[in-house]
Amino acid sequence: MAGTMKQVVLAAYAQGNPKSSDFRLEEVPVPQAGEGQILLRTLWLALDPLIRFSLDEKLISGARHMQIGEPMFGPTVSEVVASNHPDYAVGDIVETRTGWYEYAAVDPETVDYRGPPRKLDPELAPVQTALGALGMPGQTAYAGIVDTARVQAGETVVISAAAGTVGSLAGQIAKILGARVVGIAGGPEKCAALLDLGFDASVDYKADDFEAQLDAALPEGADVYFDNVGGDVTLAVMERLNRGARMAVCGFTAYYGDGMEGPGPNKLPGFFRLINSRQLEIKGFAGIMAGPEPIEAIAGWMKAGRITFPEVVVEGLEAAPEAFSSVFSGNSFVGKLLVKVAEAG
Amino acid sequence: MAGTMKQVVLAAYAQGNPKSSDFRLEEVPVPQAGEGQILLRTLWLALDPLIRFSLDEKLISGARHMQIGEPMFGPTVSEVVASNHPDYAVGDIVETRTGWYEYAAVDPETVDYRGPPRKLDPELAPVQTALGALGMPGQTAYAGIVDTARVQAGETVVISAAAGTVGSLAGQIAKILGARVVGIAGGPEKCAALLDLGFDASVDYKADDFEAQLDAALPEGADVYFDNVGGDVTLAVMERLNRGARMAVCGFTAYYGDGMEGPGPNKLPGFFRLINSRQLEIKGFAGIMAGPEPIEAIAGWMKAGRITFPEVVVEGLEAAPEAFSSVFSGNSFVGKLLVKVAEAG
């Protein structure tokens, strides 16, 4: 395939929260599929918050380290437009990890550490759900609520970043298990949307009376906390956890820019005090642990109308930097933030 | 009983670590046993670090709050010297909670939230073991290693404050379960004593090369961390925990003086990063959960010579303030710190 394509590269390492100026749009030649490779045309791009770990000048965790000028990586749904590989035919729609670019020539065996590109059935569900409810975020929500937090009917479950992809699914799964579910999100729009999704209560962490809202939503405290954020929101929830409560740590967006240390005071003493005096159980987990069963369970619940998966779509690759940055600065989106890069076919 | 007795009262609330000048020795009349009461003569007093929680001017946790001028409370082994209660006879030796005074007139039903004074059999074991291996500290060590951390044969277990009462018992129980056990303590004397107790390795947190010692002791990382201290020691251990490791939080002496916040920087971001990336399980626990079975198990191991319970005895009630303060300033004791207040009989 001749011609040029758009791609987004890293222009500067992130200082604290990423900004759209940390990225740069470029025009480059469309790659060719080499021997054994397939050429993918990006249809959908998911702006995964975990990418933040790769944007520090000095790498802190075991994440992949981006170089300045390198095209951004990310989860994608793509169409096979050329194939030199027996397992893939032109027209196949696949979910894998390429990046913030319009075309990618990849080796199916090595493109994604999770395995070869997963072929999707467009008749079963809209293909972009493979980046959300029927993909990694769905697996993560299921792993946290079912396997890690072991939510039981009648328990009270609190979910932070509840309007996010994982949070909104986690809350709905907890409801299906018979729990009372309280979601924390930023702003009245998101809080109202959570009630529409079936949450029993929602609390606005940006409101002046956040702690009073939390008290009102938790008259008997909480038994489970599904945490995506860390920071002051988490410390406020922890003070309302019941003895023996479980806390599933899915993410900690409040600290993604901090490395190992943030500005004082040191909040770790209070954290230890709560762990010990409340006999809390705190577990970190990752969706990858859960295997394929969660996807089947969630697909069934979606078909039965018990899970709604809201999407917010921004159009065009050039919108990715601004949309990605908004994840950290507190946007007003509810559900999965997707970039629609192209139409299939 | 006529005459006077010695008692130690709180003279000042603790600022950070307790000092001996926070306490005052007084001479007061010996109390009388009222209706339904028994008069106890204190034989042994245990200097429980948890008492620290009661010494803040502004109470932080749910601990009992000491008033200035009030006699100190604490776990004791005593002799019944007068009885107006049918369940207790003069000469009985009991374990309960009275305090830092020579005599106590108490209602057996209400003296201790855990239950009435527990009668001891001096033929079975020295009575002061009821304050250590065969009492609350033994229950705590057992609960942490067996129930909370679920130590398995072949695992590597790290124990902080390993020369303390609970730590030294926890390490020996982990050895009995077939684990490789690394103890952390302050100073070469304590570290040598841990090897005598059967620990596989010991690490001196006061040494300049603490982190290098820790690396050498943990060539394959650690699977379980039994934590008594918190602070920098804990953060150093956490960086060496394996994926999926369990951390049993028994105490956090490094933070007892800090309340909910300590001086910056904020170490909580790194803590969340480790929880999440290593998929750690962190659980707070208390010995009281464990029931009477641990005492029977430990008594059996002691009888079989598989558990040694070192004691350090200071003589006389007036030595209690200095000895208690040394717990926080880093003493060189190994094992249980006891005050011998009087001889039985």
B270: which chain A residues are within 8 Å (Cβ-Cβ)? 259-261
Name residues whose C-beta falls within 8 Å of residue B86's C-beta, 6 or more positions apart in sequence.
none
Closest B-chain CA to A262:
B266
pLDDT at B290 over 70: no
Name residues whose C-beta falls within 8 Å of residue B64's C-beta, 6 or more positions apart in sequence.
B54, B73
B249–A275: do the CB atoms touch at under 8 Å?
yes
pLDDT at A288 over 80: no
Query: pLDDT value at position A334?
Result: 73
**Candidate from A61, A268, A281 with C-beta closest to B271:** A268
Confidence of residue B125 (pLDDT cuts 50, 70, 90): confident
| Chain segment B155-183, per-residue pLDDT in tens | 999 999 999 889 999 999 999 999 999 99
Q: What average pLDDT does the segment B290-294 reach?
A: 78
Give the DSSP H/E element, type plus range, for residue B181. strand B180-185
Query: pLDDT value at position B345?
Result: 78
Query: pLDDT value at position A256?
Result: 81
- Span(s) in chain B for CATH 3.90.180.10: 4-132+310-340
Question: In sequence order, what are the beta bridge partners of B97?
Answer: B75
Confidence of residue B1 (pLDDT cuts 50, 70, 90): low
Q: What average pLDDT does the segment B28-41 reach?
A: 97
Closest B-chain CA to A251:
B276
Residue recorded with tokens 């990849």: A106
Q: Which residue has the higher pLDDT, A289 or A270?
A: A270
A284: which chain B residues are within 8 Å (Cβ-Cβ)? 274-280
pLDDT at B265 over 90: yes
| Chain segment B211-236, per-residue pLDDT in tens | 999 999 999 999 999 999 999 999 99
Domain covering A139-289 assigned CATH 3.40.50.720 in the classification: yes
Q: Which residue has the higher pLDDT, B335 or B29?
A: B29
Phi, psi dihedrals of residue B17, rounded to the nearest 5°: -75, 140
Share of residues in chain B with pLDDT > 70 (%): 97
- Span(s) in chain A for CATH 3.90.180.10: 4-132+309-340
Return the SS3 of B90: coil
pLDDT at A61 over 80: no
Which of A168-182, B14-28, B323-337 has the weakest average pLDDT? B323-337
CA distance B226 to B248: 5
pLDDT at A62 over 70: no
Name residues whose C-beta falls within 8 Å of residue B126's C-beta, 6 or more positions apart in sequence.
none
Query: pLDDT value at position A1?
Result: 62
Q: At the topology level of CATH, where does B4-132+310-340 sit? A: Quinone Oxidoreductase; Chain A, domain 1 (3.90.180)
Closest A-chain CA to B257:
A269
State how far the alpha carbon of B320 is from the alpha carbons of B47, B48, B56, B105, in Å.
8, 11, 19, 21
Residue recorded with tokens 């008259």: A219
Alpha carbon of A202: minimum distance to chain B alpha carbons (Å): 24
Cβ pair B268, A268 in contact under 8 A: yes
Q: Which residue has the higher pLDDT, B272 or B124?
A: B272
Alpha carbon of A150: minimum distance to chain B alpha carbons (Å): 14
Query: pLDDT value at position B237?
Result: 98
Considering chain B, what is the average pLDDT of its residues? 93
One-letter amino acid identity for B180?
R
Give me the total of CB pairs closer than 8 Å, taking one residue from chain A and one from chain B.
141
pLDDT at A331 over 80: no
B276–A249: do the CB atoms touch at under 8 Å?
yes
The residues of A whose Cβ lies within 8 A of any Cβ of B are 60-62, 230, 249-252, 255, 258-286, 289
- Span(s) in chain B for CATH 3.40.50.720: 136-288
pLDDT at A290 over 70: no
Residues in chain B: 345
Query: pLDDT value at position B50?
Result: 80
Give the DSSP H/E element, type plus range, for residue A215. helix A210-217
Return the SS3 of A290: helix
Name residues whose C-beta falls within 8 Å of residue A329's C-beta, 6 or more positions apart in sequence.
A17
B270–A259: do the CB atoms touch at under 8 Å?
yes
Share of residues in chain A with pLDDT > 70 (%): 97
Which of A239, A253, A271, A278 is the mutation pick for testing B, counting most B CBs within 10 A? A271
**Candidate from A252, A265, A281 with C-beta closest to B263:** A265
pLDDT at A275 over 70: yes
Cβ atoms within 10 A of the Cβ of A313, count? 14
Q: What average pLDDT does the segment A268-279 reach?
A: 94
CA distance A262 to A17: 13
Query: pLDDT value at position B293?
Result: 86
Query: pLDDT value at position A28?
Result: 97
Q: What angle do CA A258, A263, A265 make, to 5 degrees?
A: 130
Q: What average pLDDT does the segment B261-269 reach?
A: 94
B267: which chain A residues are within 8 Å (Cβ-Cβ)? 260-261, 266-268
Q: What average pLDDT does the segment A291-316 reach?
A: 90
Give the DSSP H/E element, type plus range, for residue B213. helix B210-217
Q: At the topology level of CATH, where does A4-132+309-340 sit? A: Quinone Oxidoreductase; Chain A, domain 1 (3.90.180)
A273: which chain B residues are within 8 Å (Cβ-Cβ)? 60-61, 252, 255, 259-260
Share of residues in chain A with pLDDT > 90 (%): 79
Closest B-chain CA to A229:
B272
**Candidate from B262, B278, B289 with C-beta closest to A284:** B278
B265: which chain A residues are within 8 Å (Cβ-Cβ)? 261-264, 266
Cβ pair B329, B337 in contact under 8 A: no
Give the DSSP H/E element, type plus range, for residue B175. helix B165-176
Q: Are strands A311-315 and A336-340 parallel, antiparallel or unpaired?
A: parallel
- Which DSSP string corresponds to A300-341? HHHHTTS----EEEEESGGGHHHHHHHHHHT----SEEEEE-
Q: What average pLDDT does the segment B73-98 reach?
A: 97
Give the DSSP H/E element, type plus range, for residue B242. strand B241-249
Query: pLDDT value at position B254?
Result: 87
Phi, psi dihedrals of residue A143, rounded to the nearest 5°: -60, -40
Confidence of residue A82 (pLDDT cuts 50, 70, 90): very high
Spatial CA neighbour of B345 closest among B69, B41, B16, B24: B41
DSSP E strands: which ranges in chain A?
4-10, 23-29, 38-46, 73-83, 93-99, 103-106, 118-119, 156-159, 180-185, 201-204, 222-227, 241-249, 281-284, 311-315, 336-340
pLDDT at B61 over 70: no
Q: At the topology level of CATH, where does B136-288 sit? A: Rossmann fold (3.40.50)
Measured torsion, CA atoms of residues B241, B247, B253, B259, in degrees rounded to the nearest 10? 110
| Chain segment A240-257, per-residue pLDDT in tens | 999 999 999 999 988 888
Give the DSSP H/E element, type plus range, for residue B169. helix B165-176
Q: What average pLDDT does the segment A135-148 reach?
A: 94
Q: What average pLDDT does the segment B45-60 reach?
A: 86
pLDDT at A335 over 80: no
CA distance B334 to B313: 11
End-to-end CA distance of chain B: 15
Query: pLDDT value at position A332?
Result: 66
